Amino acid sequence: MNATLFTNARVVDPSRQMDERGAVLVAEGRIIASGAGALNQGAPGGASVVDCRGAAIIPGIVDTRVFIGEPGSEYRETIASAGRAAAAGGVTTMVMMPDTDPVIDDVALVEFVARAARETSPVHVHPAAAITKGLHGGDLTEIGLLREAGAVAFTDGRNTIANAQTLRRAMTYARDFDALIACETNDPHLGATGVMNEGLFASWLGLSGIPREAEVLPLDRDLRLAALTGTRYHAAKISTALSAEAVARAKQSNANVTAAVSINNLSLNENDIGEYRTFFRLSPPLRDEDDRQTMIEALRDGTIDVIVSSHDPQDVDTKRLPFADAAVGAIGLETLLAAALRLHHDGSVPLLRIIDALSSRPASIYGLDAGTLKPGAKADLAVVDLDAPWVVDETKIVSRSKNTCFEGARFQGMVLQTMVAGRTVHQVTI
């Protein structure tokens, strides 16, 4: 029997509201027992016994907003390299955005991603399909066929669908197929020329700003259309107090509304841009400190359901440019958990809520078999030393691209081991 017993561990399982000293027994790719009840069950014959020495065992992280260059821009990131980066960060499941070349807007591309993931990635990869063909905001894709082929959500990636009637039709079709619509909202005209958060700091730098209203206006429209059509709607990334208020209001009357926030908007603010540091040109842009604190509060009270890495690899040639010309995006798979744990260490958000937002809740929203340590579940888990210090070093980044917002950052919380379906895909010793 292929079995592993993790002993002397802190078992954190938000799916059962569990945070207790215990053990986890894994056999044949499944969790056999977990928690305090597994302490005295012993180990099957031939099982490997791992003494966690007080480290935490959490469900594998489910990152629902990951941009990958394959197909079309493999020099930035491949499915294989993203999978290795994910494993290093305790991420066992990724939802891949359709922003590729060609766009993931037909059945063949969904099947290609699924096949490539099975063959090359050490972690689970699920494709999200485009809402409109070519991400152009016009003709709708075949939502029913794409969902049947394996698409777990529908999004136009970095783009916002400007035409309300087009989006209403998409939501209606999605409702009929019980499909999830996940949209990033940024008014294509109001924020068209902006490169950072609109405000005094942008004026000092001489850069054009993106007003908060550019995010909340299409978001409010989307939320109203979701209520009208009865579809499952997920605000893919919000970053302002105005957006949090809109989501909170929508949730009072529509149980099918959820929201996510990028780890960047939880951890950083516009001041981090400093002297035109292009690795901090992001979407949504880094906001002011008041908005960041509002995001933390919205995460704590459940207005925001999910934390995402918004992993978006870019190469040197597109990042080391004048700020206004630099590509948008930063990598984040390897630093997602550690950055989120800052909120635990400073007492801002309870650990259970953080792990819930990283694993159990996104798995539930996207309908994935993940995010739990319940007996019988797939053995997707991470062993994490919550207190181990480490420094982000560009030379040690696993991702093919190195455009991290956290270069030189000091973190507490190191992933010691990542297991996918009972197989160890990442392991370190300290």
What mean pLDDT is reported for the chain?
A: 95
Q: Is residue 391 part of a domain?
A: no
Asked whether the predicted pLDDT for residue 315 surpasses 80, the reply is yes
Q: Is residue 165 part of a domain?
A: yes
Look at the chain and report how many structural domains it folds into: 1
Are the C-beta atoms of 261 and 286 separated by less than 8 Å? no
**Angle, CA of 397, 400 and 406, to the nearest 5°:** 40
pLDDT range class, residue 150, cuts 50, 70, 90: very high
* Residue 231: per-residue pLDDT: 97
Q: Is residue 382 part of a domain?
A: no
35-49, 84-98, 158-172, 287-301: the lowest-pLDDT one: 35-49
Nearest Cα to 97, choosing from 118, 72, 119, 122? 72
What is the domain extent for residue 291? 59-366
- pTM for the predicted model, two decimal places: 0.96
What are the structure tokens assigned to 151, written together?
């698409």
The amino acid at 48: S
Are the C-beta atoms of 274 and 322 separated by less than 8 Å? no
pLDDT range class, residue 1, cuts 50, 70, 90: low
Residue 259 has phi, psi (to 5 degrees) of: -150, 155
Q: Is residue 384 part of a domain?
A: no
Q: Is residue 140 part of a domain?
A: yes
Radius of gyration of the chain (CA): 21
| Mean pLDDT of the 214-236 span | 97
Q: Is residue 49 part of a domain?
A: no
Cα distances (Å, whole numbers) of residue 418 to 122, 216, 304, 425? 10, 37, 26, 6
Instruction: Give the integer Cα–Cα distance in Å for 29 and 36.
Output: 21
* Residue 42: per-residue pLDDT: 74
Query: Domain containing 98 — which CATH number?
Result: 3.20.20.140
Q: Is residue 280 part of a domain?
A: yes
Q: Is residue 15 part of a domain?
A: no
| Mean pLDDT of the 181-202 span | 93
